[in-house]
Amino acid sequence: MSSVAWNPAGTRIVSGSYDNTLRIWESRLDEAIPMWQAAPRRRLQQQQAAERYRLKEMIDALFEKHVFVESVLEALRTDPDLSDADRQEALQLAPAREIYLDPDDLNSRAWDLVDPDREDKDTDVAMALRLTRMGIKLAPEDSALRDTHAWALFANGLHDEALVESARALELADEADKDDYQGYLDRMRAMIAEARAASPTTDPAGDD
């Protein structure tokens, strides 16, 4: 034997001999793996890695469309094009992929639904609230996300909670942005006062 080398995991050893032969050893078994077996193993590992990457890309695309893990899982369960093996692996992978959601994207989606100046008032404000709650889990100190969450609460009639959240956004805002956030809070207070004056029973029970 003239030389040896280990793989990064330390599980295999390659030895070279003066007779120009190579041997691959399983370090745990202390026995050589025939070269004709080693190559197929590598190909199988590469195929498995490629398949897992494909499944992760598919799951990420589903998160882009559905956002929430329960919706992604339902889409995987009902996809007729998935094999049983792929379905089971995808269902195991999906919950962990949720951490790759982008808080800025969630914020943008939610804001489009609750922007107080939006032309179309018939938007899915309940979805906006789910989006902002998910975003806050991922980025709890994001002032813009907190502000959007406040407007989502407002749009859902949760006025007192909205004021608390707007004040929290002001607290978290950068010093240079505090005047803007104070303006958002003042505007919300005025809109809530106007709504309550117009319909004293508008707020859900227990909101006051």
Rounded to whole angstroms, what are the CA distances from 30 to 23, 24, 62, 130?
12, 10, 45, 55
CB-based contacts of 63, cutoff 8 Å, min separation 6: 69, 72, 97, 98, 100, 101
- How does residue 205 score in pLDDT terms, banded at 50, 70 and 90? very low
Q: Which ranges constitute the DSSP H helices of 28-68?
A: 35-66
Mean pLDDT value of segment 130-135: 92
Average pLDDT along the chain: 84
Report the distance separating Cα 182 and Cα 174, nearest Å.
Answer: 12
More confident residue, 203 or 201: 201
| Least reliable range by pLDDT among 12-26, 100-114, 156-170, 174-188 | 12-26
Mean pLDDT value of segment 38-51: 73
26-35, 48-57, 140-149: which is most confident:
140-149
Asked if pLDDT for residue 204 goes beyond 60, the answer is no
SS3 label, residue 81: coil
Percent of the chain residues past pLDDT 70, beyond the cut: 78
- How does residue 152 score in pLDDT terms, banded at 50, 70 and 90? very high
Residue 23 pairs in a beta bridge with 15
- How does residue 79 score in pLDDT terms, banded at 50, 70 and 90? very high
Mean pLDDT value of segment 158-162: 96
More confident residue, 89 or 25: 89
Q: What is the pLDDT of residue 172?
A: 97
Asked if pLDDT for residue 94 goes beyond 60, the answer is yes
Record the tokens describing residue 205, joined without a space.
């029970």
More confident residue, 203 or 112: 112
More confident residue, 103 or 7: 103
Asked if residue 76 lies in contact with residue 87, where contact means CB atoms within 8 angstroms, the answer is: yes
Asked if pLDDT for residue 72 goes beyond 80, the answer is yes
Mean pLDDT value of segment 131-137: 92
Rounded to whole angstroms, what are the CA distances from 154 to 129, 158, 180, 199?
10, 5, 18, 15
Asked if pLDDT for residue 61 goes beyond 80, the answer is yes
* Burial of residue 155, with CB atoms counted within 10 A of its CB: 0-12 exposed, 13-18 middle, 19 or more buried: buried
